[in-house]
């Protein structure tokens, strides 16, 4: 039987199995007292509990067979070895090499790790100069850093900088991404141009939003600073364009084309993060990512966190048909994690054709969304608990917080996280709701009506990722875990997770529409809706 036929047979078996168990109470699976342990996996001190899903031993075996039949192991080796797995752009995919500082990774006959280490050491030396006051602005020591980028040049480092706030001991770091002038205006307000450094982060140094914001920052700085170029830094592949902008080569940190934007914070795109937390903490972040790489490479699939997280995602999206996935960190400093994962997962696996260009016969990646707990409990959890659609939930929670004097608040936070997962699992039966209403003195039809409003269907799946504390090392583990989850899901779906052609068309059309909005070009030929809106919004 060919690989394609094997895959088709497993998909069909999974779908048939789901049909037979979809109405089964997940809670009934815990009749097996060993279930919690059997459906929990560990990587170091990190624990992934996926027992509160409707995946039983048979489904797990089929999902593991699916991962084997799709060639995850071979593709994994190809990625780590530097082979050209991004076939549409003819590139290797080597963000993992940015954290493998003692390894050997050959691309084009050359070990690229030496160059990675050299760039990291340049970043560290520069960061030390800024943090220790040897590199200054016109007004003295740098107090603020503004990172200007968008997409992968913003979401990752912005998320990580907020996540590691307890470790900030350098200049204040700010992020600007949106071309909306409000973003840069509000960010620069209150900063001193004479002690502010600007990082322009753009792989090509042509990203329109980034370059317009960079010019705006330069104009702002020039009102106070004579030589603005001396306070600008570039993170880019395009050294010549950075030089033309006025940035000295000593302050240009290069990128490689085998690192995709949304996977790039491990290298020079992480410079702003390094400035905030220091080189030592940044290396701890890299070490956490590398530890997850080693786990992904070495652990058997049935105990492999990235593989299991991916298989849970495949079960919920492609088998059960749940179109969205809620990421719910019970960790306030992971506020930006859902937004970061939106790009990581939806830009990677939001595809409609297979690697060979044929149409997908199954849905690709789900919609990712979420907010931190407990805030979400007072917002959208109503829909999660009692809405008509099932939303698989992925909780993240730390055993310890960073505020020992507020340990009682952290205990309440953790209690809420576990309670939400249990509530999704158990629900509340109509009989239980009726009993509650009886204690309030209700009878007859009114009791029935009020009870129905208080009934929870339950039987809604969730997973919990628990870790000791949100340190740089643990954050590195979490980010690498989700990167590899995207990879595994992409391999199983037979798509290229490392291109993003879907972002191009809108950019091209925006360039055509801008002169129309300026009144320089007629909007004739556009659809009626676009013409009407151009006329209304015309400058």
Tens of pLDDT, residue by residue over 284-326, are 999 999 999 999 999 999 999 999 999 999 999 999 999 999 9
Mean pLDDT over 66-84 rounds to 95
Pairwise CA distance, residues 130 & 338, whole Å: 31
Enumerate residues 6+ apart whose C-beta is below 8 A from 247: 200, 229, 232, 233, 234
Two tokens, residue 534: 């151009």
Mean pLDDT in the chain?
96
Neighbours of 281 (CB within 10 A): 21
Residue 4's pLDDT band (boundaries 50, 70, 90)? Answer: confident
Q: Which residues of 47-56 are buried (b: 16+ CB within 10 A; e: fewer)?
A: bbbbbbbbbb
Mean pLDDT over 92-96 rounds to 95
**Above 60 in pLDDT, residue 356?**
yes
Neighbours of 64 (CB within 10 A): 19
- Predicted local distance difference test score (pLDDT) of residue 2: 63
**Above 90 in pLDDT, residue 201?**
yes
Say if residues 364 and 493 touch (Cβ distance below 8 Å): yes
Q: Which listed residue (209, 345, 347, 371) is catalytic?
A: 347
Of residues 3 and 91, more confidence is placed in 91
Helices and strands (DSSP H and E) totals, the chain: 21, 15
- Predicted local distance difference test score (pLDDT) of residue 157: 98
Two tokens, residue 169: 């001991």
Mean pLDDT over 105-132 rounds to 94
Active site residue 295: no
**Above 80 in pLDDT, residue 172?**
yes
Enumerate residues 6+ apart whose C-beta is below 8 A from 52: 26, 421, 424, 425, 461, 462, 463, 464
Pairwise CA distance, residues 239 & 217, whole Å: 20
Q: Which listed residue (110, 507, 518, 538) is catalytic?
A: 507
**CATH number, domain 3-82+285-426+460-499, options 3.40.1190.20, 3.20.20.70, 3.40.50.10490, 3.40.50.720:** 3.40.50.10490
Residue 402's pLDDT band (boundaries 50, 70, 90)? Answer: very high
Residue 252's pLDDT band (boundaries 50, 70, 90)? Answer: very high
**Above 90 in pLDDT, residue 227?**
yes
User: CATH 1.10.1390 residue ranges in the chain?
Assistant: 504-537
The DSSP output letter for 362 is S
The Cβ-side half-sphere exposure at 202, using a 13 Å CA radius, reads: 24
The dotted CATH code for 504-537 is 1.10.1390
**Above 80 in pLDDT, residue 1?**
no
Pairwise CA distance, residues 307 & 288, whole Å: 18
Q: Which listed residue (23, 223, 378, 408) is catalytic?
A: 378
Pairwise CA distance, residues 296 & 538, whole Å: 53
CATH architecture of structural domain 112-277 = 3-Layer(aba) Sandwich (3.40)
Pairwise CA distance, residues 500 & 509, whole Å: 17
Q: Please give the share of the chain, as a percent, with pLDDT higher than 70.
A: 100
Pairwise CA distance, residues 295 & 349, whole Å: 23
Say if residues 401 and 332 touch (Cβ distance below 8 Å): no
**Above 90 in pLDDT, residue 106?**
no
Active site residue 347: yes
Active site residue 526: no
User: CATH 3.40.50.10490 residue ranges in the chain?
Assistant: 3-82+285-426+460-499, 112-277
């Amino acid at each position: 039987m060919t690989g394609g036929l094997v895959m088709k047979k497993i998909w069909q078996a999974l779908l048939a199995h789901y049909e037979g168990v979809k109405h089964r109470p997940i809670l009934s699976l815990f009749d097996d007292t060993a279930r919690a342990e059997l459906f929990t996996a560990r990587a170091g001190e990190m624990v992934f509990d996926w027992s509160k899903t409707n995946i039983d031993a048979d489904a797990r075996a089929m999902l593991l067979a699916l991962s084997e039949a799709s060639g995850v192991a071979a593709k994994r080796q190809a990625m780590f070895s530097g082979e050209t797995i991004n076939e549409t752009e003819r590139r290797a995919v080597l963000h993992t090499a940015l954290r493998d500082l003692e390894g050997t990774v050959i691309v084009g006959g050359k070990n690229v790790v030496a160059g990675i280490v050299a760039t990291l050491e340049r970043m560290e030396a520069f960061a030390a100069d800024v943090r220790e006051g040897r590199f200054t602005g016109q007004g003295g020591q740098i107090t603020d850093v503004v990172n200007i980028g968008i997409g992968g040049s913003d979401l990752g480092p912005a998320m990580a900088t907020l996540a590691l706030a307890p470790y900030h001991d350098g200049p204040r770091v700010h992020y600007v991404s949106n071309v909306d002038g409000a973003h840069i205006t509000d960010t620069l307000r209150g900063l001193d141009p004479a002690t502010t450094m600007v990082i322009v982060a753009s792989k090509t140094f042509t990203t329109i939003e980034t370059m317009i914001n960079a010019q705006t920052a330069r104009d702002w700085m020039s009102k106070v600073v004579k030589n603005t170029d001396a306070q600008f830094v570039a993170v880019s592949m395009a050294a010549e364009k950075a030089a033309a902008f006025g940035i000295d080569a000593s302050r240009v940190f290069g990128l490689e084309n085998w690192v995709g934007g949304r996977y790039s914070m491990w290298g020079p795109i992480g410079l702003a993060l390094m400035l905030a937390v220091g080189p030592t903490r940044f290396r701890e972040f890299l070490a956490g990512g590398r530890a997850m790489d080693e786990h992904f490479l070495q652990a058997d699939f049935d105990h492999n966190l990235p593989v299991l997280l991916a298989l849970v995602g495949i079960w919920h999206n492609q088998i059960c048909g749940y179109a969205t996935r809620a990421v719910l960190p019970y960790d306030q400093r992971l506020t930006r994690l859902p937004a970061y994962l939106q790009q990581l997962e939806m830009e990677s696996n939001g595809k409609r054709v297979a690697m060979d260009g044929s149409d997908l016969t199954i849905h690709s990646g789900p919609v990712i969304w979420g907010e931190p707990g407990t805030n979400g409990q007072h917002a959208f959890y109503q829909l999660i608990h009692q809405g008509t659609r099932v939303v698989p939930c992925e909780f993240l929670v730390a055993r310890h917080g960073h505020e020992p004097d507020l340990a009682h608040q952290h205990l309440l936070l953790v209690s809420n996280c576990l309670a939400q997962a249990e509530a999704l699992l158990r629900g509340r039966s109509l009989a239980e709701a009726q009993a509650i209403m009886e204690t309030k003195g209700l009878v007859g039809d009114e009791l029935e009506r009020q009870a129905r409003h208080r009934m929870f269907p339950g039987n809604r799946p969730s997973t919990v990722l628990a870790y000791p504390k949100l340190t740089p090392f643990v954050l590195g583990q979490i980010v690498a875990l989700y990167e590899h989850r995207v990879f595994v899901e992409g391999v199983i779906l037979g798509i290229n997770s490392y291109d993003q052609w879907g972002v191009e068309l809108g950019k091209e059309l925006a360039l055509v529409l801008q002169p129309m909005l300026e009144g320089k070009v007629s909007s004739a030929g556009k659809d009626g809706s676009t013409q009407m809106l151009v006329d209304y919004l015309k400058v």
